């Protein structure tokens, strides 16, 4: 399953918000430094979808706020 995710780093709290079936907004407290925000977003998405972190992969947008994420 491919979803579009907008990541907001350095937020005041961690949160996953579903906008529609394939669009999500993820707020993380981690800074966008050396992939820390990406790692935090993957961890939040794994909890949200109840899958292992190893099953979530950022397909595109690793350095952008807007990402395409694959969940297998």
What is the pLDDT, as a whole number, of residue 43? Answer: 96
Q: Strands 23-27, 2-8: parallel, antiparallel or unpaired by DSSP? A: parallel
Percent of the chain scoring above 70 in pLDDT: 100
Contact between 1 and 59 under an 8 Å Cβ cutoff? The reply is no
Contact between 42 and 67 under an 8 Å Cβ cutoff? The reply is no
What is the pLDDT, as a whole number, of residue 50? Answer: 96
Average pLDDT over the chain, rounded to an integer: 95
Residue 61's SS3 state is coil
What is the pLDDT, as a whole number, of residue 60? Answer: 96
Name the stretches of the chain with pLDDT < 70.
none
Which class is 2-71 in CATH?
alpha beta
d(CA 21, CA 13): 23
d(CA 31, CA 23): 22
What is the pLDDT, as a whole number, of residue 23? Answer: 96
């Amino acid at each position: 399953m491919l979803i579009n995710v907008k990541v907001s780093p350095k937020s005041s709290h961690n949160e996953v918000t579903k906008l529609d079936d394939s669009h999500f907004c993820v707020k993380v407290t981690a800074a966008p430094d050396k992939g820390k925000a990406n790692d935090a977003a993957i961890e939040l998405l794994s909890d949200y979808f109840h899958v292992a972190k190893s099953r979530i992969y950022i397909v595109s947008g690793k350095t952008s706020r807007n990402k395409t994420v694959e969940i297998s």
